[in-house]
C-alpha cells in the first residue's frame, strides 16, 4: 500500500505541514478530500489543531486548490468570497 503522505504531497498547494493534519483526520487520498469537501476538511482540522497550529485563510484556499487541481491563486473571486465568509464564521 502506498504511503498516503507521499500521495497527498503530490497534490497542488499541499505541503509537509498540511499533509500530516489531513492524515490525522482520516484523509488519505485526493478522493477522501474531495468527498469531505473543503469546508468540512478545514473545520475538522481547525477544531483539531487550532491550539497547536496557525490556520489561515490561505490554508483554506490551499485545500480548495488541492481539490480543484489548481494553484490557490486561480480560485475564482466568487469562491474565495465564499471561503472568506466560511473562515470568518468558523473563527467566531
Over residues 28-41, the pLDDT tens digits come to 999 999 999 999 99
Specify the pLDDT at position 50: 85
From the centroid of its chain, how far is CA 35? 12
Q: What's the pLDDT score for residue 1?
A: 58
Phi-psi sector, 5: left (phi>0), alpha (psi -120 to 50), beta: alpha
Query: Maximum Cα–Cα distance for the chain, whole Å?
Result: 40
Which residues lie below 8 Å from residue 31, measured CB to CB, with a gap of 6+? none
pLDDT 10s digits, 39-75: 999 999 999 998 877 899 999 999 999 999 999 999 9
Q: Provide mean pLDDT across the span 70-89.
A: 97
List phi, psi (to 5°) of 55: -100, 120
Tell me the Cα Rg of the chain.
12
Write down the pLDDT at residue 14.
97
pTM of the model: 0.92
Is CATH 1.10.150.20 correct for 4-91? yes
Residue count of the chain: 92
Amino acid at each position: 500500500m502506498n504511503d498516503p503522505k507521499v500521495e497527498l504531497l503530490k497534490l497542488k498547494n499541499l505541503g509537509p505541514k498540511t499533509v500530516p493534519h489531513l492524515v490525522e483526520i482520516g484523509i488519505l487520498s485526493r478522493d477522501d478530500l474531495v468527498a469531505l469537501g473543503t469546508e468540512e476538511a478545514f473545520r475538522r482540522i481547525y477544531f483539531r489543531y487550532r491550539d497547536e497550529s496557525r490556520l489561515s485563510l490561505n490554508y483554506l484556499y490551499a485545500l480548495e486548490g488541492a481539490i480543484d487541481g489548481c494553484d490557490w491563486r486561480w480560485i475564482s473571486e466568487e469562491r474565495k468570497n465564499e471561503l472568506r465568509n466560511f473562515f470568518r464564521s468558523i473563527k467566531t
